[in-house]
Structure formats: structure tokens, C-alpha cells
Amino acid sequence: MSEPRVYIYRGPRRRTINNEEKNEDDHDDHDESSPSASLPAVPKDIHFARVDDPVTHIPPNTFKDCNDLVCISFPNGLVAIGDLAFCRCRMLREISFPSSPFLRSIGIQAFMDCRRLVSVKLPEQSGLQVIGPGAFQMCFELTEIDIPSSVRVIGSFCFVWCSKLAKVNLQEGLVAIGEGAFRKCSLLAQVLVPKSTREIGDFCFAECYNLISVEISDRLQYLGHGAFAECSLLTNISLTPMVDLTGMDPFFQCTKLVEASYTNERLCQRYEKTSTIHQLCYDQAYESTQVCMERMQDALMKCKSADPSRMCWVDECGLTPFHVLGMSKRPNSYLFQALLQTSPSKQLLSAKDRWGKTPLQYLAKSHSKIANELIQMVLHHTIIQRIAWLGLPRWRRELWTAIDALEQNGVTERARQIDQLEHRLAVLERLESTSLLEFAVWQNSVQQYLEPPPDKNDENAYMFDVEKYNRLRYGCRFSCGSEIIISSVVSWIDPIEESS
């Protein structure tokens, strides 16, 4: 069994391996012209590492892909850890940062994909202010994290996919939690957001399937789109009218949410800049009262008599009324049909919001009994019309088979299949468009350089190589995709006959 390798990182130029000190300048292959000439090449097969006291900054990528690294020791004077510094150190099990006021930041994806990382100790006495985006992303074995009071910002996707993270302690002093910071932390059961926190980013706690309770301060100013989306066990949460709900629905598909005590007037204010339709769609989705239905009918009647193009059908987040209804826990087929008749363009059904989602993708995650009916309705006006445009029959059959299978699956599988369906359709559309464009280029090239003689019976006509001309025509046909044929150009593809 080989002896464990110990590595002492002394910063640029000097390093120690197994108690033997070496100078980087002594290496024959050292190249001063290289951008990384001043940085020691850290061996990938080390087991234990210590960062020496004079070092204050660990440069980006320093220990990246050291798959055998088990333990790392930091100096008291450490100020910053660079981006990707310990990325994919998959045997690293524990990290303990020094209790000193000097540490300021942990870089982007600094410890990403450290799959066996069980413990991260961030002392309360540290001066850490920023934990960078993706810093501990995909640390699957991490079970608990205490965020010091000195931390002001938790970066986007910081702890995403930490699937065993069951406890998070957030301290006063934290100002912002970035987009998707704790997304897919499926064992997380409770979150207490400090009073100092002003912003919770988009999808911050989305898909935390065991999250039951959330406590949020009345000082919170922004709650992002889908911040708690698909937290299916979440039962209680309290918000205040001061919260900026720029995101459409922070609690999308929170099927067990009993109480979300924020004022409805505050939620409706975000639609005052757009149209009455947005506001009424929201009211119907979450109140479903007869009054809301009557107001919606009156509003749609006014739209029919007015100029629909002058109305604002898309808000600042890219959301249309179809998006609002697609997110509803109580979608209504009448409203979909009425909006289809009133909207200035059927393309609104295919419009993507700021997060790249269409109304169909939101509907696909609905648990409503009429979800399949509404999905078929939307499919008819969007994807089915696009499928009909495809020239290749076997492509159309492939997509029709996928559509027929939608009703046979559960919500999760249905949503995944609709995403795949839209992606596949987009690929086929690009393929066919590219083929037709190539066909046009070939046609133009052949006609430009090999125009046939105006009169085949004219003996004085210039010589014309019929065989070569036909060969180029066939080349055009097979290069652009021999199965994609449009009726208007079939005659052009057919070879000409050589005159007798």
C-alpha cells in the first residue's frame, strides 16, 4: 500500500511534498511566458494538504480535481478562496475554516461536487461576508450548515442538490439569499428566515419536498418567482403587504398550503401596470367566487368591443393571462376559451415568460381534474399546428404518439414528457428549416451555372451536360434530406430528359 502523500501549499513558486521543499524555478519545464507560470502545479494524487501561513488567497482551480484529497487545513490569515479552488475533490470529507476576522469570501463553485463532504464548519467569529454562487453545489452528503452572522449574501445555487441537507441555521445579518440557493434540498424540513433578510431569490427553496414550515420576517421586500414551488408538504407561511411579489406565484404547486396570509390587494397591485384581465385571472384562480366570474365576463365583453391590440397582454415578467390561469389550482376551461377568442394573437399561448416557461408547461404540473382537457385544448392551438407544418410523415407520427401518451401518465411524468415534446419539436423544426434553406441554396447554384439551353432542338444551342446537370439536381435532393419534398418543387427535382 502506497504511503499517503502530504502537500504543503506555500503560494506561488514554493511548495513542499513529503517534507521535501522544492522551488518552482528549478523545474526545467517552467515557462515564464505561461499565464500560470507563477502558480505551482498541485499534484492530483495528494491525500492531505495544508495551506501555509503566509498564504492569504487561494487562486482559482488550485486544488481542482484532486480526487484523493481527504483533508485540507487553512491558515488563520486566509482572506479568500478562489473560484473552483476545490471543485470535484470527491474524497474530501470535512472542512473547517479558521476562527479569524480575515476571511471575506468563498468563490464561485469553490467546493462544487465534493460528493463525500459531510461537514462544513464556518465559525461565528469569522469575517466571511459572501458565499459565492454554487459554492457547495452537489455536496450530496452534507447534512447541516450554520451560516455565521457576518455573512451578507448567499449566492445563487449555493447549496442546490445537497440532497441530505436537513438543517440550515441562518443568522441575523443575512441580507439576500440568491436564486435557487437551496433548491432540491429534499430533506430540509424547516426554515427560519432572519429579520435582516430583504430578498429571497427565484426558486430559492423550490422542490424542497419535505419542507413543512417557513417563518419570514415582516421586513422581507422581495419574494421571487417560484421561491417555494413544489414544496408539496408546506402547510403554513406568513407574509406581509410589504413584500414585492414580482414573481407570479412563489407557492406554485404547494398543494397542501393551508394558509398564506398576505393581503390579496398587494398581490393584485402588480397587475395594475398591465391589464384588468391579468388581475381578474389571478382573482379567479385563487378565489373562484361568482363575483370574480361575472367581472371576468364583463371584462371580456369590453375587450371584444375595444381594440385588443391596444391592451397590455404581457407584463414585465413576460406573463400572459394564459400563464396566470396555467398556474391556477382551479383552472377554468371557459376562461381559456374566452381568452382565446379575445386575445389578439394565438401566439400568446406559446409565449415564454422570463423564466422560459410557456402556459402549457405550467398546466402540465396541475393536479386539477380538468388539466388533461385544458392541455389538449392548448396543444391544439400550439404544438399540433406546428406538427402539421412538418413535411416528414414519420416525424409527425413520432410526435403524435408522444401526445397520445400524455393522458396515461401522472403529473410529474406528464410535465417531463411535455418538456421533451417541445424540445423534440423545436429540433425537428430547425432540421427541416435548415434542409429547406440548403435546398434553396443548391437550387440557386445549379440554375446560375448550369442553365439548360433555351431550345433543345436548336443545333446552334451551346453545349449542355445533361448528365452533370441531373447529378447536381440529385445531389441537391439528397443533401437537403431526400424525404422532405414540397409539392411546388417536386417537378424541379425530377431529372430532365436528354434530347434525341
The model's pLDDT over 222-242, given as tens digits with 9 standing for 90+, comes to: 888 889 988 988 887 766 655
Query: What pLDDT, on the 0 to 100 scale, is given for residue 371?
Result: 83
Separation of alpha carbons 293 and 310, rounded Å: 23
Which H helix or E strand runs over 118? none
For residue range 401-454, list pLDDT tens digits in order: 888 887 666 666 787 788 888 888 888 888 877 777 766 766 666 565 555 555
The pLDDT of residue 313:
77
* Distance from C-alpha of 450 to C-alpha of 326, rounded to nearest angstrom: 56
- pLDDT value, residue 170: 95
Cα within 13 Å of Cα(426), Cβ side: 7
Strands 153-154, 130-131: pairing is parallel
Q: Cα angle vertex 172, ends 168, 174, to 5°?
A: 75
Which contacts of 290-296 are long-range, i.e. CB under 8 A and separated by 24 or more positions?
296/335, 296/338
Q: Give me the residue spans of the domains in the chain.
A: 435-493
The residue count for the chain: 500
CA angle 365, 348, 368 (to 5 degrees): 25
All residue ranges of the chain with pLDDT < 70 are 1-2, 12-40, 238-248, 258-275, 283-293, 300, 302-312, 329, 407-412, 438-439, 441-500
Q: What's the pTM?
A: 0.57
pLDDT tens, position by position, 254-308: 877 755 544 344 445 555 555 677 777 776 665 655 666 677 777 767 666 655 5
